[in-house]
Structure 1
Amino acid sequence: MSDAAPIPASASLSARIPGAARLVSWFAGSGQADIAAAEQAALRSDRFRLEREADWRRLQAIVTRIEAGRIRSISDDDLIALPALYRMLASSLSVARETTLDAATLAYLEGLAQRAWFVVHGPEMGFRGWCARFFGGGWSAAVRSIAPDIVIALALMIGGTVIGWLLVSGNPDWFYALMPAQPGDARVPGASRAALYATLFDHGQRDGLAVFAASLFSNNAQVSILCYALGFAFGVPVLLLLIHNTALLGALLWLYHGQGLTLELVGWLMVHGTTELFAIMLAGASGLHIGRAMAFPGQRAVLDAAAEAGRRTATVMTGVVLMLIVAGLLEGFARQLINATAPRLALGGAMLVWWLVYFFAFGRRR
């Protein structure tokens, strides 16, 4: 039998295990410290929320009204305070993430911050709102911003028409170079007046007018897109493209003028031409604007200058596409359905006046 006295069952752990007293004391102190830390964190979270909750609720009410389209019901003071409230919320969210506040508060702040960001920095605009802004002055203002380039494009188109006339009048063979011959096309040098007159006034079937309009729209769209895209080559190809396309117009004017059908041809062209040629002129001006910005960037980098000019002319080109659609409809339907020169001149002149007033008079106050 051992001489050591037995340890009572009721004896403490420290009497049975060496150092157990220190372990028990450590665990007890650690648990109390964790509880105290949790209580302090909860107090900080409550105090943090109470100090800022009124501003959060105010911001939430503003965002909710804007999302519901009730911006008119928001007071001027709330609209002015919106950016400051959003910045305060972003700061609160940053603090909440760093100090690991309760999950519910953190989730609330993250959701509200996301909604407020779209209101302050990235407002969503519906199609109706975009149309109202675009047609309500955005398109016309963009066109006026490239006015010097429009003047250059107009001068090039007039010069191309004169060049085409002079080339064909000096040598009729130039007509075939400018306007590739098509089977059965009566518009060739030496054609009789009756043959040329028949090409201007169609009294036959019109079943394929819709297909014809779509084909013409596709061709005009390609020319306009080329004018715009080639602007990135410092605008030089745009000059040649505008001159080449209008040289064909000069050749046609020479051909019909020789048979005394100048006014009839002008009426035939004006129905769609005042819209179509205007659209091509705007596309060429947009390309020239980009090329001019790249050739003369000033203190900016070339790519930065091109990007800025591209953003400015993107609105113009959006409108050019719409103009080409209108021109295609006029060319495929109105021109074929109206078989008199006077109504054609009136319609083409009215379209020209409309575009001039819209681009250079409408929306100036805005």
Structure 2
Amino acid sequence: MSSLTGDVIGTWFSRREKATIAAAEEASLRSDRFRLEREADWRRLENIVARIERGRTGSVSDEDLLALPALYRTLVSSLAVARETSLDNATLAYLEGLAQRAWFVVYGPRVGLGGWLRGFFGGGWSAAVRSLGPDLLIALAVMVAGTVVGWLLVSGNPDWFYALMPAHPGDDRVPGASRAQLYATLFGKSHESGLSIFSAYLFSNNAQVSILCFALGFAFAVPSILLLIQNTALLGALLWLYHGQGLTFDLVGWLSVHGTTELFAILLAGASGIHIGRAMAFPGKRGVLDAAAQAGRRAATVMTGVVFMLIVAAVLEGYARQLLDATIPRLALGIAMLIWWLSYFFAFRRVRERGI
């Protein structure tokens, strides 16, 4: 009895082993057959991709370039089949690697970092800024209104100054300060150290305000407008304080060194947020999400440049303003920067934008 049972079990295992071997052989044959049927297209695609990767695009024939998208789609289809049918790992790894390389050739970026920078600073950024025309006017009106509101608040009740102006220990810029104290905050700081740390702090603070103005645009731009009012109200409070001691002109010169760049950057950030909010509130015939996505892409291009402007403003505030210890040179630099930004954004055109 036990001998018969052993024979039965041995026969069952033998059949199971044979079935496993047969299945493995069939899978191997299926994998080989699958590869042989499509390998010519894979090799052709690999050859095209390799030449393009080596920068030898000129050696690729027109026929191969036209066939490239179809070959890529065929490869992706083959990869999907290979995954579903559990073909051998070597074939699967080969297809996955080739698919990744081919994707960058077919759909990847067409220019490198240098080309992108040339396109961005060579007209892409300025064109994006000009596309925000109505939103720039709205943001500018809001910033002027915020400055007026700040002035009126502190002139009616000086206690508002402490609510608007962040408190710093030992800061003499407070209501009741003498002319000499306020004058000392504007001049005589050319030999101060730690300016690089100060400029990094300023960049971080201004970048935070600008990014918030942009990011909160999705709430129909209401938070963006409020942030613009809050930040420019501080400017109005400062103007009121220094005006009381006859130092308005000196304060304007002190602020203009970096302010024409910094305030312009904040203006662009606010306009970007307003642009998104306005697109969501008035999408027209488009869906709200489509309108927001399109406006967001345009505003994101502007915001990329805003970061660059804030870096420039931080350097000017942390260094140039201290090195120029007189009002006229400061004002001259501030006006020169303003003329530069206005010319770049609104006068500069790429050749193809003029239709030449």
TM norm. shorter chain > 0.5: yes
Contact 2:190 2:322 in 1 (8 A): no
- Cα distance, 1:235 vs. partner? 1.0
Which ranges of structure 2 fall in alignment gaps of 5 or more residues?
Answer: 1-24
Write the mapping of 1:55-94 to structure 2, written as runs, cut at 5 A.
Answer: 59-71=45-57, 74=60, 79-87=65-73
Identical-residue share of aligned pairs (%): 74
TM-score of the pair, normalised by structure 2: 0.76
- Cα distance, 1:184 vs. partner? 2.6
- Cα distance, 1:103 vs. partner? 10
1:116 aligned partner: 102
Counterpart AA for 1:337: L
- Whether 1:346 and 2:341 are equivalent positions in the alignment is no
Contact 1:118 1:124 in 2 (8 A): no
Write the mapping of 1:19-168 to structure 2, written as runs, cut at 5 A.
Answer: 53=40, 59-71=45-57, 74=60, 79-87=65-73, 111-123=97-109, 126-168=112-154
Aligned residues: 327
- Cα distance, 1:349 vs. partner? 1.9
- Cα distance, 1:96 vs. partner? 9.0
Counterpart AA for 1:271: V
- Whether 1:221 and 2:207 are equivalent positions in the alignment is yes
Distance 2:162 2:89 in 1: 78
2:352 aligned partner: 365
1:288-339 deviation line (CA, Å, top 9, x unaligned):
1221122223344434433333333222222222221221111111111111
Contact 1:267 1:342 in 2 (8 A): yes
Distance verdict in 2 for CA 1:148–1:56, change over 3 Å: same
- Whether 1:189 and 2:153 are equivalent positions in the alignment is no
**Between 177-186 and 266-275, the greater mean CA deviation after superposition:** 177-186
- Cα distance, 1:102 vs. partner? 11
Distance verdict in 2 for CA 1:116–1:44, change over 3 Å: closer
1:206 aligned partner: 192
Distance 2:144 2:110 in 1: 43
Distance 1:164 1:42 in 2: 78
Counterpart AA for 1:191: A
Write the mapping of 1:172-183 to structure 2, written as runs, cut at 5 A.
Answer: 172-183=158-169
- Cα distance, 1:257 vs. partner? 2.5
Counterpart AA for 1:163: V
1:309 aligned partner: 295
Equivalent residue in structure 1 for 2:219, among 233, 252, 271: 233
1:329 aligned partner: 315
Q: State the secondary structure of the residue aligned to 2:174.
A: coil
Contact 2:190 2:323 in 1 (8 A): no
TM-score of the pair, normalised by structure 1: 0.74
- Whether 1:296 and 2:296 are equivalent positions in the alignment is no
Distance 2:331 2:290 in 1: 44
**Between 121-130 and 95-104, the greater mean CA deviation after superposition:** 95-104
**Between 61-70 and 122-131, the greater mean CA deviation after superposition:** 122-131
Contact 1:225 1:283 in 2 (8 A): yes
Equivalent residue in structure 1 for 2:267, among 263, 275, 281: 281
Contact 1:140 1:363 in 2 (8 A): no
Counterpart AA for 2:350: G
1:134-169 deviation line (CA, Å, top 9, x unaligned):
333333333233222122111111111122223333
Distance verdict in 2 for CA 1:199–1:106, change over 3 Å: closer
Distance verdict in 2 for CA 1:99–1:173, change over 3 Å: closer
